[in-house]
Structure 1
Amino acid sequence: MTTATLDRPAAGAGARAATGSVVTGIGVTAPNGLGTEAWWAATLRGTGGIRPLTRFDASRYPVRLAGEVPGFVDTDHLPSRLLPQTDRVTRLSLAAAKEALDDCGTGPDALPDYGAGVVTASSAGGFEFGQRELQALWSKGGQHVSAYQSFAWFYAVNTGQISIRHQLRGSSGVVVTEQAGGLDAIAHARRQIRKGATLMVTGGVDSALCPWGWAAHLAAGELSETTDPARAYLPFDAAANGHVVGEGGALFVLENATAAHDRGADVYGAFTGYAATFDGPGTPRLGDAARLALTDAGLNPGDIDVVFADAAADRAADRAEAAALAALFGPRGVPVTAPKSMTGRLLAGGASLDVAAALLSLRDQVIPPTTGTTTPAADCPVDLVTTPRDTTVRHALVLARGRGGFNSAAVLSAL
């Protein structure tokens, strides 16, 4: 990780960052790379992770593509005692949390008691675990249901298992706002730091690639039925016809900036702005969330160097997002990218993975590409980045929309 210092003179958003919350660790489990640097290298190459499902036989379903995390061997990441009590999503979360904590260079022994906590986002909980135990209940009887079903399916289980494994006994929680959850969790962690916490593990990881989860995904009617992985998920494209589901996400170590400086921590960037809105009847409010996040960061639209789009790959939703961006920045007024085109939409993990991409863009001064889409539709006037773009990146805006009307926006800033 490249070192950034916290003591350079700054004003505006930089001054806020110096006294606010900074990211000192990143952990990634993604369909196109396991581990932060492997995923980032694949993303810059434009290497996708969307492929035919292997976690179950999907041959009889109308949709058979997904973004699965490759090469994840459970026993490489978890002790054997945890295997019977954890779902796939919790195992991915524990791996990401360990990488983030190892990356940040500190541990619970160096922190005050109750000074570190966990806030994660989840959309599905331990869906695969829940399916298996419900099958046992219906086919064999209650005596065959695991006692671990009492918590392994639950939305908060990732937070609990991370806090137990790493002795993080501070204020903790979970948020459930679907795709927006990854940003909402980080914002909640920032609130805990403002209240006095020293360090928070935060972000989102999701996985529901099992028949029960697949039935829920299909019921929403938003999945692409295209069988070509390279053409199945086309955000802002005239041929967009739905998205692809994936699993994984990213977790972070968010620290009080002063505490991070005092221990000489390396820093990826600062979480300088955030806002959330809720759509009214026929009134999308993603643009309002973006404007409010900029205000929270003390920035103007011209200060933003890149937008990581929600990128629904639904024609109406893409038009609405493009219109919101045009209203704020002007038509094609800011580079826009959607690296999730390589992974699929990861539920609560998607926005978190975009935050990781934004932070590494700040570090490496490059905007990662959107794949699949080569030319945006005429009614989506965005400057879509389709090959890696070397450029100055000081402030990045990340957008996310959750099913049901949730909108969230976050600003990440270099120091």
Structure 2
Amino acid sequence: MTARTVITGIGVTAPNGLGTETYWKSVLAGHSGIGRVTRFDVSGYPATLAGQIDDFDAAEHLPSRLLPQTDHSTRLGLTAAAWALTDAAVSPGDLADYDMGVVTSNALGGFDFTHREFAKLWGKGPEFVSVYESFAWFYAVNTGQISIRHGMRGPGVALVGEQAGGLDALGYARRGIRRGTPLMLAGGVDSALDPWGYVAQLSDGRVTAETDPARAYLPFDSLASGHVPGEGGAMLVLEDEERARARGAERVHAALTGYSSTFDPAPGSGRPPGLRRAAENALADAGLAPADIDAVFADGAGAPELDAAEADALRAVFGPDGVPVTAPKALTGRLYAGGGPLDVVTAALAIRDGVVPPTPAAGPVPDGYGIDVVRGEPRERRVRHALVLARGRWGFNSAVVVSAAGER
């Protein structure tokens, strides 16, 4: 029998809440973490908003020795990882070091760290550049720093897949558990809200120029004008269910029952995008039919053409208005590698509390979309299985099915 992968620990660092329950309360209350960028002067930029984490002091959460060698995104990742392990009640010595692995996804690297070092190089000279510049900028550094700090010598993987990459990290971790590793710490965190990092995110032209945070990021809305970048994400402890219970795991938040990833065909090929196929394959992997899904946590790009394409995929899988659809990421901004894992956490909490969180709205859902978007207020509903979708730039698509712990 294939090992069943369950979520036993969660750590959240999000613009609208540090910690799982703080974040969840904000989501249900519709509290947004989006506001004007305050870390540098954005008055000359074509966009001015972001999902910033303003109440995070790394020195309160990490040893002082780690601060000189880590970018802001790695500090967020290390903190989320520690919180997830604490939530799972995993202590040093509970498992052998090779029985614990780490998989993280990162789309932006250590932008803030490396650009500060570049400024030293150009303004003062090479002797002023930190020795830690050799690795602190790198996409794989979160996996390395987390594994070193917690003595996790099992499989170590680092992925780069933009928004879809965070779900891929969970899928890779699930694969590691099925191959025999009892516990995997997996997820994604991103941050690039320094001047260079921010302008890099504006390069694709899909960041909104709206200056009102309440009207800035509006997935599946007639007033949608693009997305808002954000920072943060989530780390999850995933375990083989039988081994988790054998070690005395205090609780199981949910199960990761299905996963799939696809890639869009080349533009102009005439073939359809891969998001529908990713959703269908994830359902098949979970052994579920579309009617079994009680909520969809959508990618929700906030760009009209991308939202319309996602709506087409959802109608094709579930039928018109066939399932409640939500995009709570509109309260945080798009977190790149952190977005998918945070949506998985949100889905697990929706399963726990029997409620589908709403999507912020300013105008009506376009008539042609034909999907049931949860808006305004949370919708009370028994959620046994939820589908989480994510799309990355250049054609990445990923889908994960999150199920109640007792559902098979």
What TM-score comes out, normalization by structure 1 length?
0.94
2:151 match = 167
In structure 2, the partner of 1:399 is 389
Counterparts of 1:358 and 1:249, CA distance in 2: 14
Contact 2:147–2:153 (Cα < 8 Å) also in 1: yes
Out of 275, 278, 282, the position equivalent to 2:260 is 275
2:207 pairs with one of 218, 223, 232 = 223
Q: 5 Å matches for 1:180-329?
A: 180-265=164-249, 266-282=251-267, 283-329=272-318
Q: Are 2:223 and 2:363, in contact at CA under 8 Å, matched by a contact in 1?
A: no
What's 1:6 paired with? none
Query: Could you tell me how far apart the structure 1 residues matched to 2:213 and 2:97 are?
Result: 48
Q: Distance in 2 between matches of 1:46 and 1:352?
A: 19
Q: Which residue of 2 aligns with 1:381?
A: 370
**For 1:221-250, what per-residue CA distance to the aligned partner results, in whole angstroms no more than 9, with x for missing partners?**
110000000000111111111100000000
Compute the displacement of 1:138 (Å).
1.7
Cα-to-partner distance string for 1:63-94 (whole Å, 9 max, x where unaligned): 11100113101110111111110100011001
SS at match of 1:344: coil
Q: Is the 8 A contact 1:183 1:409 kept in 2?
A: yes
* Cα deviation code 1:125-144 (max 9, x no counterpart): 11100111111112222111
CA apart distance, 1:374:
5.2
Letter aligned with residue 317 of structure 2: L
Question: Which contiguous aligned blocks of 4+ residues in structure 1 show a shift greater than 4 angstroms?
Answer: none
State the distance in 2 between where 1:373 and 1:126 align. Answer: 35
Tell me the distance in 2 between the aligned counterparts of 1:82 and 1:213: 22
Structure 2 residue aligned with 1:343: 332
Per-residue deviation, 1:168: 0.9
Deviations 1:388-412 (A, max 9, x none): 1111100000000000100000000
Task: Return the letter of the residue paired with 2:178.
Answer: R
Q: Give the distance between the partners of 1:372 and 1:74, measured in 2 at CA.
A: 34
Match of 1:413?
403
Question: What code does the residue aligned with 1:279 have?
Answer: D
- Give 1:358-373 correspondences, 5 Å limit: 358-373=347-362
Query: Which of 178-187 and 100-109 deviates more?
Result: 100-109
Number of residue equivalences: 399
Unaligned runs of 5+ in 1: 1-14
Please name the residue that 2:62 is paired with. Answer: 78
RMSD: 1.1
Which residue among 38, 41, 66 is the counterpart of 2:25? Answer: 41
8 Å Cα contact 1:65/1:244 also seen in 2 = yes
Determine which of 56, 59, 66 is the counterpart of 2:43.
Answer: 59
Q: Distance in 1 between matches of 2:85 and 2:221?
A: 38
Point out where structure 2 has 5 or more consecutive residues left out of the alignment. Answer: none
CA separation in 1, counterparts of 2:119 and 2:97? 42
Which one-letter code corresponds to 2:296 in the other structure? Answer: V
Structure 1 counterpart of 2:265, one-letter code: G
Q: Which amino acid aligns with 1:85?
A: Q
Partner of 2:162: 178
Secondary structure in 2 matching 1:412? strand
Q: Identity over the aligned pairs, expressed in percent?
A: 59
Q: What do residues 153-175 of structure 1 show as CA deviations (whole Å, max 9, x unaligned)?
A: 00011111111111111111111
What is the distance in 2 between the residues matched to 1:399 and 1:413?
15
Checking the alignment, whether the CA contact within 8 Å between 2:222 and 2:363 is kept in structure 1 is no
Match of 2:52 in 1: 68
| 1:40-79 alpha-carbon deviations (Å, 9 max, x no partner) | 0110111000001112221211111100113101110111
Q: Secondary structure at the match of 1:173?
A: strand
Measure, in 2, the Cα distance between the counterparts of 1:378 and 1:106: 49
**What is the CA–CA distance in structure 1 between the aligned matches of 2:226 and 2:72, rounded to whole Å?**
25
- Tell me, yes or no, if the aligned pair for 1:235 and 1:373 is still in contact at 8 Å: no
* Paired letter, 1:411: V
Task: Tell me which amino acid in the other structure corresponds to 1:407.
Answer: N
Residue 264 of structure 1: how far off its partner (Å):
2.9
Counterparts of 1:216 and 1:55, CA distance in 2: 16
Q: After superposition, what is the alpha-carbon deviation per residue over 1:341-378, rounded to whole angstroms, capped at 9, x for unaligned?
A: 10010011011110000011111111111113453111
TM-score when normalising by structure 2:
0.96
SS for the counterpart of 2:262 is: strand
8 A Cα contact 1:185 1:204, kept in partner:
yes
Q: Distance in 1 between matches of 2:102 and 2:260?
A: 20
User: Would you say 1:158 and 2:142 are equivalent positions?
Assistant: yes
Would the aligned equivalents of 1:323 and 1:380 in 2 still touch at CA under 8 Å? yes
| Correspondence 1:390 to 2:377 | no
Mapped to 2, the partners of 1:351 and 1:390 lie a distance apart of 23
The residue that corresponds to 1:8 in the other structure is: none
